[in-house]
Structure 1
């Protein structure tokens, strides 16, 4: 990661900032070239692991990302150990994204840390703000989920497919919907059945 500290401080600090900073633009171009190189690697290419570590802020032991991945920066995203993401993950990571150990992310998920002021004159001046996303340990995020700026998802939570997550979700909860809301806690039924009436075999 070669993004200047001043640029990282600007994006990761609270408040409004403007994304027409020349140093920011130059640094992002370097990250985009690195991303293109990563997405062009073939399965089994030993360079892929090296590029994943170079592109992201952190890439934990045993973490795995199906390509392609699309990120504003890459250097704003921190992967825990053994985290997994399916294809077409989109990371609007001008702000930081923290993904916990053993978390699983389905296909076509979008994690968005950045927004723009509603006031029109500020948007014309390319004003934006970024708030971090925190995803806990052993979370499962289903396909086509979108998570918005500033959201925290607690450990072990399950987010149902196609949800729009606008607010924090507590640990050990099953949540889904638009907007996403807690439907129930993980319970004894879940310890016995893996899906509907399909029982978990005793020898697992």
Structure 2
């Protein structure tokens, strides 16, 4: 097995590859996120939204933002009007995440726009996520970078989304696999 290459991680590109703000802004955001956004107390959704907007998030009117949420970079987040963000949602947005109007992202869902060049140098690769009006990503889903979820689509609980979901579709990755290979 010694002929299989291993990447020397001490030479991998730095962790700040996605930072497009000064260090002090990123660190200040981390403090504010902990106090006002990730905080598990049932403080006001309006306060969470105000803090996110103060750091550059574009958030429409009437958005509900529940406790225990995480946002890597608020300046790379856009959420349309009347959308609901469930408790424990994590926007790991090293690239842009855009949600339309009336979108629901349910509890403990993880949206990540980043990955790594694992066969080359572990450099960061990012791709945006777009979720159209009226879509519902139910609880404990994983949405990967480069994905778009169509208008009024529904992603069933516990699913991984790594390809486009058409408008009005009900997405269940296990059913898709069974359909392809069954």
Band of TM-score, shorter chain: 0.7 to 0.9
Deviations along 1:19-52, one digit per CA (max 9) or x if unpaired, are: 3468654432122112112134753486444213
Q: Unpaired segments of 5 or more residues in structure 2?
A: 1-12
TM-score, normalization by structure 1: 0.71
Query: Residue 174 and residue 46 in structure 1: after superposition, are their counterparts in 2 closer, same or farther (change >3 A)?
Result: closer
Matched position secondary structure for 1:34: helix
Cα distance in 1, alignment partners of residues 51 and 36 from structure 2: 6
Aligned to 2:110: 110
Q: Unpaired segments of 5 or more residues in structure 1?
A: 1-16, 184-204
Aligned to 1:198: none
Number of aligned pairs? 163
Cα distance in 2, alignment partners of residues 45 and 139 from structure 1: 21
Taking only aligned residues, the RMSD between alpha carbons, in angstroms, comes to: 2.6
Aligned to 1:85: 85
Query: Residue 61 and residue 180 in structure 1: after superposition, are their counterparts in 2 closer, same or farther (change >3 A)?
Result: farther
TM-score, normalization by structure 2: 0.78
> Which structure has more strand as a fraction of its residues?
1
Aligned to 1:129: 125
Deviations along 1:151-195, one digit per CA (max 9) or x if unpaired, are: 0000000000000000001101111125967x8xxxxxxxxxxxx
Greater Cα shift, 25-34 or 38-47: 38-47
- In the TM superposition, 1:1-204 aligns within 5 A as 18-20=14-16, 25-39=23-37, 40=39, 42-44=42-44, 47-55=47-55, 57-119=57-119, 122-123=121-122, 127-177=123-173
Query: Residue 93 and residue 179 in structure 1: after superposition, are their counterparts in 2 closer, same or farther (change >3 A)?
Result: farther
